Amino acid sequence: MFVTGLSSADLFVPIEDALNAKRSELLERKPTGETVIVEMDARSLVELRSWPWPRRYHAEVVNQLHRSGASIIAFDVDFSARSGTGDPDLAAAIRNAGHVVLPIFAQASSGRVGDTQVLASRPDAAFADAWVGGVNIFPDRDGVVREYPAALAIDGAIQPSIATLLAESNAVGDRSFQPDWAIDAGAIPRFSFVDVMHGRFRPGAFRGKRVLIGATAIELGDRYAVPRYGVVPGVVVQAMAAESLLQDRAVERTGSVVTIFGILLIALAFSPHAVERPGRYSAACAATAATIAGGPILVQAFWPVSVDSAAWLTTLAAAISIQAILEARRRLRLREQIDAESGLPNRSVLQAAIPADSSPSVVHAASIERFERIRDGIGLVAANEMIRKVADQITAIVGSPVYRIAPDILAWILPHEDESTLREIQSAFRAPVVTQAGPVDVAMTVGIDREEEPAAAVLRIERALSAITTARSKGRNHDHYRGSDPQVRSQLSLMSDLRQAMEKGRLSLAYQPKMALETGRIGDAEALIRWHDGNGKTVSPDEFIPLAEATGVIREVTIFALRTAAADLSRWAREGVAMRAAVNVSALDVAAEGFADEVSRILAKAGVPTSQLTLEVTESALIRSPAEAIATLTALRALGIRLSVDDYGTGQSTLSYLKHLPVHELKIDKSFVTTLVGSKSDAIMVRSTINLAHELGLEVVAEGIEDRETLEILRSEGCDYAQGYFVGKPLGPAEFFEFVSGRNSSRKVA
């Protein structure tokens, strides 16, 4: 496992060391009081003046301590060289006191890099009556001392350390151990060397004490970095080690076997899986994290054991992160499969549910009549409630899931056709559906695909949708797809041809210029879909766009248009012409989850700034799915994309409604513009729209301008942009580029 590998490579050591230090702070404990430090401090240096001190000073301190009843005296001071006249005094004091420990240590023979020769520094032979104890301390790679050797191999022999002798303990043997850094080092009793030398201490202060003598003055060096306390004198490290042995607190770390076992246990317990109860999973994660974080504290509080937990915490965090990623992906997939308004499975789920083999199945699609009027009348929330209740009733009758494949269309699959089931469904809705806004009469027209001819799932759905149209044309409440109907077959094959046209490059964009009326400059254009079939004929958008919207193929058309427009904008920019192109989007586009992100990715891939794209959405699309539309438009605007309401005036929306939408402009439908000169009512409508739009901070585009007189009227009314054959007809990308380059460089349109 990855975490196990990291643990084996000691990559968790820094984290583990930090956790150990924090545990030491939390578990602070008092020293025994048996260990006493006599410190060669700055005050002693000042009072005694000379340095190094004559050894008679050390002899006097030993005598004072012995007379005071010290049980054992240890020096962390080098006595390996002779000093002169003071040596006999010190030797006599050691002999008289009995239990005196002098240091022995190993050191490199020189300070040269690569010098591997090691010398042993022993007390001078004059002090043969003293015990010897090792004083070497070994910092970790980061310079911090964390462990202490209970014994040292010096000159081929195992030598107990000074702390081991001071504590008179062999509990650890010759191993290294971690002193309990939780012991309060500041509470270890200390006396100044000069005070002890002159007898300035209370009687009995050292009775039965284990005394450690060493340097604490900064100028004497011998300082080490340790956990929790930072840099301390070496004598304090020795005292902490002795205290740990006295309290049976020589801490041992759990090691790699326990660590790896814990990693495997956590990985097994929290391996990625489908979480059915998120609350219980979260509680288990929290409890485990608390145990891993708090357990080592509890263990170390009662036993001298330091539990290595950094790798466990990392394993748990990794498992939780992986689970969170998988859960986010699952939720994303679920969101892509669920209709946001009703919570029902959507069209993509239906397509996946339709058998791909020859298994018998009948696809039903039911369109709720007058759906838009119902929604406008009772509101979006109540309309969604109605949809859910209708779906629940159908599910109760047919015994299979119901899918929402369009705002007004529900669908389901049955293994075979059953006229009695259809009659039961129609009968169920003779009674109103009760919503929070009141009872609603629901009437449905059902289209059925029972064709046994093998077909893709999307085609079977299209067949059922076509059957709805057939039923309505005949005034019936249901009908079947009839493969023999030439018109229906033509419509279905048209969508297949449309997909092939996109694949084979027969679908293209033409750009119709939009002129800024204030400057006469052309900096915008509307991208219009053009379809040329293989026979040199052009298929009118009026023929395929409505059917593409009804079947869902419009999503593919929109993506094609966005990618093509982005590529053209990028190419024009490289050639020195920065334009803004408008692309039409449908109700299915603005209702689709992640549409804004998809647009952003397309522009980013082409290297086109978001400010160079305008998206035109019709009034009907905004009214059809208002919740999704507002959310999508808000996300698009946040990206910096310009938003336009197309065909304004043909729908049921008002400016007071549109002011709540995050759009930049209105595009007045050409039906009002083309009659502007001769129709007083249309002129009033256009004028009031321009004025009110400006008051709301929106710009106005007028399309369908065929003559100069109409252009001048719009200019006088303050319209912002003009579009129509008088300004310029739709042109292919290359022709449009030449047109714009010549027009903008030569003159305005008067």
What residues are paired with 668 via a beta bridge? 648, 702
Query: What is the C-alpha to C-alpha distance for residues 338 and 631, in angstroms, rounded to an integer?
Result: 16
Query: What is the C-alpha to C-alpha distance for residues 565 and 608, in angstroms, rounded to an integer?
Result: 10
50 versus 655: the higher-pLDDT residue is: 50
Residue 109 has pLDDT above 70, yes or no: no
Q: Is 512 helix (H, G, I), strand (E, B) or coil?
A: strand
Per-residue pLDDT band for 624 (boundaries 50, 70, 90) equals low
* Site of tokens 């739709």: 730
84 φ/ψ sector (left φ>0, alpha ψ -120 to 50, else beta): left
DSSP state of 674: T
What is the chain's alpha carbon radius of gyration, rounded to the nearest angstrom? 44
Give residue 623's pLDDT: 63
536 versus 575: the higher-pLDDT residue is: 575
Q: What is the pLDDT of residues 564-604, one digit of tens each?
A: 999 999 999 999 999 999 999 988 888 777 899 999 999 99
The overall pTM is greater than 0.85? no
* Least confident segment among 265-274, 380-389, 393-402, 458-467: 265-274
Cis? peptide before 233, omega within 30° of 0: no
CA end-to-end distance (rounded Å), the chain: 74
Give residue 744's pLDDT: 61
Residue 748 has pLDDT above 60, yes or no: no
Share of residues in the chain with pLDDT > 70 (%)? 91
Q: Are 730 and 511 within 8 A, CB to CB?
A: yes
Cβ count near 50 (within 10 Å):
8
Give residue 706's pLDDT: 93
Q: What is the pLDDT of residues 156-195, one digit of tens each?
A: 789 999 999 999 998 888 899 999 999 999 999 999 999 9
Residue 385 has pLDDT above 90, yes or no: yes
Give residue 485's pLDDT: 56
* Least confident segment among 452-461, 600-609, 636-645: 452-461
Give residue 6's pLDDT: 47
What residues are paired with 526 via a beta bridge? 512, 582
Residue 265 has pLDDT above 60, yes or no: yes
Query: What is the C-alpha to C-alpha distance for residues 411 and 394, in angstroms, rounded to an integer?
Result: 10
676 versus 336: the higher-pLDDT residue is: 676
Q: 569: Cβ–Cβ under 8 A, 6 or more apart, which residues?
A: 579, 581, 606, 608, 612, 613
- Locate 253 and state its tokens: 């770390």
Query: What is the C-alpha to C-alpha distance for residues 652 and 620, in angstroms, rounded to an integer?
Result: 8
Q: Are 224 and 139 within 8 A, CB to CB?
A: yes
**C-alpha angle 515/518/520, rounded to 5°?**
40
Q: What is the pLDDT of residues 323-347, one digit of tens each?
A: 888 888 877 777 778 888 888 999 8
Cβ count near 331 (within 10 Å):
11
The stretches of 480-520 forming alpha helices (DSSP H) are 486-503
* Least confident segment among 367-371, 491-495, 543-547, 661-665: 491-495
Residue 259 has pLDDT above 80, yes or no: yes
Task: Please state the rounded mean pLDDT for residues 306-332.
Answer: 85
Exposure letters 561-584 (e unless 16+ CB within 10 A, then b): bbebbbbbbbebbeeebebebbbb
Dihedral of the CA atoms 698, 704, 709, 714 (nearest 10)?
0
Average pLDDT value for the chain:
87
Per-residue pLDDT band for 747 (boundaries 50, 70, 90) equals very low
- The count of C-alpha atoms lying within 13 angstroms of the C-alpha of 147, restricted to the half-sphere facing its C-beta, is 16
Cβ count near 718 (within 10 Å):
14
Distance of CA 211 to the CA centre of its chain: 58
DSSP symbols for 287-342: HHHHHHHHHHHHHHHHSSEE---HHHHHHHHHHHHHHHHHHHHHHHHHHHHB-TTT
Query: What is the C-alpha to C-alpha distance for residues 576 and 564, in angstroms, rounded to an integer?
Result: 19
Query: What is the C-alpha to C-alpha distance for residues 210 and 220, in angstroms, rounded to an integer?
Result: 23
Q: Are 737 and 517 within 8 A, CB to CB?
A: no
Task: Please state the rounded mean pLDDT for residues 661-671.
Answer: 90
Per-residue pLDDT band for 486 (boundaries 50, 70, 90) equals low
Q: Are 150 and 164 within 8 A, CB to CB?
A: yes
Q: Are 144 and 170 within 8 A, CB to CB?
A: no
Residue 232 has pLDDT above 50, yes or no: yes
Instruction: Write a three-state SS string for 124-145.
Output: CHHHCCCEEEECCCCCCCCCEC
Give residue 587's pLDDT: 81
Share of residues in the chain with pLDDT > 90 (%)? 49
* Site of tokens 């010096």: 154
Per-residue pLDDT band for 127 (boundaries 50, 70, 90) equals very high
Helix 255-269 vs helix 310-337: crossing angle, to nearest 10? 20
| φ, ψ of residue 64 in degrees (nearest 5) | -60, -45
690 to 430, 665, 717, 724: CA distances (angstroms): 47, 10, 7, 18
- Locate 287 and state its tokens: 């409890």
Q: What is the pLDDT of residues 389-440, one digit of tens each?
A: 999 999 999 999 999 998 899 999 998 888 888 889 988 888 899 999 889 8
704 φ/ψ sector (left φ>0, alpha ψ -120 to 50, else beta): left
284 versus 737: the higher-pLDDT residue is: 737
663 to 585, 597, 634: CA distances (angstroms): 14, 18, 9
Task: Please state the rounded mean pLDDT for residues 502-522.
Answer: 92
Give residue 653's pLDDT: 57
Q: Are 409 and 465 within 8 A, CB to CB?
A: yes
Give residue 103's pLDDT: 95
Query: What is the C-alpha to C-alpha distance for residues 164 and 167, in angstroms, rounded to an integer?
Result: 5
528 to 471, 512, 664: CA distances (angstroms): 33, 8, 20
Cβ count near 679 (within 10 Å):
13
